[in-house]
Structure 1
Amino acid sequence: MGKIEIDKVAVAMLSNLSVGIGQRVKVNGEEIALFKQKDGSVKAIQNSCPHKGGPLSEGIVSGEHVFCPLHDWKINVHDGQVQEPDVGCVKTYEVEVENDSIFVNVG
């Protein structure tokens, strides 16, 4: 059996994130939006809305959803699913927080 490699990359410091405000990071050429949740956890999703490519890191955050700044599409930061009446999804990334460092698994 082949071993699956997961690339865990340090992308930000937890202390630099604020609840309700997204942060854009770039890993291996991919733009990722980070969102600190009220419980201190961090969610990471593709930073491009599936509708017209709006930068989700600049969207308004409400609980577990971010609203695209271009056309107000509502996207769940936990599973990447666009909420009705719109349809689609964005890529999600596994996140680990160790001490103050945020790591994203991109492999």
Structure 2
Amino acid sequence: MIRLADIPVGEGRAYDVDGELVAVFHLRDGTVKAVSGICPHAGGPLADGLTDLRQVVCPLHQHAFDLSTGCSTTGQPDLTVYPSTVDEEGHVVVSSRTSRSV
């Protein structure tokens, strides 16, 4: 199980969720966001990217993606967004039910 305490505030970590690599971010406001773990441009590790409350920037080529919608702000294909919450015990729950931005 993913514990929120294992992800430092302002950082992300990569996890396998039902066979998909997912980047899970612990944002500075205490919320969590989960998106595809691989940048569609050149396969960069998005969990290693810089984040703020709204977006993640790929560490390889600085392509940016909205964490809520998965939409690229730099002309790349959109990311898959995974619904995520934190339960009462502090575990991050990432649903394999995915939504795509439209």
Provide the C-alpha distance between the structure 2 equivalents of 1:35 and 1:64, rounded to a whole number of angstroms.
Answer: 11
User: After superposition, what is the alpha-carbon deviation per residue over 1:17-48, rounded to whole angstroms, capped at 9, x for unaligned?
Assistant: 22221111001210000011222110000001
User: Do structure 1's residue 93 and structure 2's residue 79 form an aligned pair?
Assistant: no
TM-fit CA distance, 1:58: 0.9
Task: Please give the TM-score of this superposition, normalised by the length of structure 1.
Answer: 0.82
State the partner residue of 2:47. Answer: 57
TM-fit CA distance, 1:63: 2.8
Secondary structure at the aligned position of 2:5 is classed as helix
Query: For this pair of structures, how many residues does the alignment match?
Result: 96
Matched AA of 1:72: Q
Equivalent of 1:39 in 10, 29, 36: 29
User: Do structure 1's residue 68 and structure 2's residue 58 form an aligned pair?
Assistant: yes
Q: List 4+ stretches of structure 1 deviating above 4 A.
A: none
User: After superposition, what is the alpha-carbon deviation per residue over 1:44-92, rounded to whole angstroms, capped at 9, x for unaligned?
Assistant: 00001111111100111233211111111011111111103x2320000
Task: Please give the TM-score of this superposition, normalised by the length of structure 2.
Answer: 0.85
Larger RCO, structures 1/2 (Cα 8 Å, 6+ apart): 1
State the partner residue of 1:103. Answer: 93
Q: Which has the larger radius of gyration?
A: 1
Structure 2: where are the runs of 5+ without partners?
98-102
